[in-house]
Homo-oligomer: A and B are copies of this chain.
Amino acid sequence: MSSPDRPLRTDAARNRELLLAAAEEEFAEHGPSASVAAIARRAGVAKGTVFRHFATKEDLIASIVSGHLTILTAGIARLADAADPGEALLEFLTVAADQRQQHDVDFLWTLSEGDPRVTELRDQLYAGIELLVDRARAAGAIRSDVTSTDVFLLMCAPVHVVANLPNPAPELWKRYLAIIFDGLRPEGASPLPQPAPTLP
């Protein structure tokens, strides 16, 4: 009685995870034009199975992005009251870059922009980042003219920078995160030429 219909769901859930992983890899390798057929093949299932789990290719993309966003937001919760706010923000950016497992699938964010789930999760994530950034700024760990939107936008840069290399070292992104984070520190900050943007 306690879990009467789980057995079937076990297989289905496994396929769902296989598909999400396969899709992420295919998108990382072939960009937005990765085909559903290739994703299915990589996951070891038939094409039709993809559509049992995700109504459309767009829905699949939104599900990948939702997973990312959820992990990121969860990460923030653990860092929200860390002793060192500067360290906490750096740690968040580290987690943010790391959880993509070197996959530069930034473009999926763009492709899923209209999805309501994604919009909601993105707003939650944004609120969390605002918290971290406010605390870091209050603690003097980052320059005063940098906003949470700046951090939100810069978050993806380290992985993307590295993606221009054919076979990047697995943790090379840490190098560029360090450089960019140094640019956020108060030390030696030059005035910023443009006002901070706001999210729509």
Write the residues of chain A forming the contact surface with B, with a CB cutoff of 8 angstroms.
31-33, 106-107, 109-110, 113, 146, 150, 153-154, 156-157, 160-169, 171-172, 174-176, 178-197, 199-200
Q: Cβ of A153 and Cβ of B161 under 8 Å apart? A: yes
A175's contact among B106, B165, B182, B193, by CB below 8 Å, is which? B193
List B contacts of A196 (CB < 8 A).
Answer: 175
User: Contacts of A164 on B, CB cut-off 8 Å?
Assistant: 106, 109-110, 153, 156
Q: Identify the interface centre among A178, A183, A189: most chain B CB within 10 Å of its CB.
A: A183
- Which residues of B are found within 8 Å of A154, using beta-carbon distances? 161, 176, 179
Task: Provide the bound-state CA to CA distance between A165 and B110, in Å.
Answer: 9
Min CB gap A166→B, angstroms: 6
Q: Are B194 and A172 in contact (CB under 8 A)?
A: yes
Bound CA span A183–B186, Å: 11
**Structural contact, A182 and B190, CB atoms closer than 8 A:** yes
